[in-house]
Structure 1
Amino acid sequence: MKHDFSLAKMILIIFAIIGVLATVGAVGMLIMHGSMMGKMGSAVGMANDCRGMMGGRR
């Protein structure tokens, strides 16, 4: 049972990492689109707020 529990825990951690990476990638794409097109100021603002909450990385 302990082995199964640790395996399930590892799978959960992997899914969490994938989710975070997907979120960061989506935010990065939003920022890139906003700076290239210049018409998505509000979306870029929201993305910047999210990035600030996640640790302020660039």
Structure 2
Amino acid sequence: MHGCQQELIKNPQLLPFLEYLCTTANKLINCGIYLAGQWYFKLGYITGKYDL
């Protein structure tokens, strides 16, 4: 289990940007996982991290 330190956001104007950034990054990761799965099932090819 990894420990982490909670960092409170002191600037409330920064919160919407950080939420947008995190949701966009999550969508991009999900898209990459989906594409890698499609390549595996269609081509039998396991992608590396630089193939996407």
Q: Give the shorter-chain TM-score range.
A: 0.5 to 0.7
Question: What is the root-mean-square deviation of aligned Cα atoms in Å?
Answer: 1.6
Q: Which structure 1 segments of 5+ residues have no match?
A: 41-58
Deviations 1:5-57 (A, max 9, x none): 332111001000000000000000000000000132xxxxxxxxxxxxxxxxx
Q: Between Structure 1 and Structure 2, how many residues are aligned?
A: 37
- Structure 1 runs of 4+ with >3 Å offset: none
* TM, length-normalised to structure 1: 0.57
% identity of equivalent residues: 6
Relative to its length, the structure with more helix (as a share) is 1
Q: Which structure 2 segments of 5+ residues have no match?
A: 1-10, 47-52
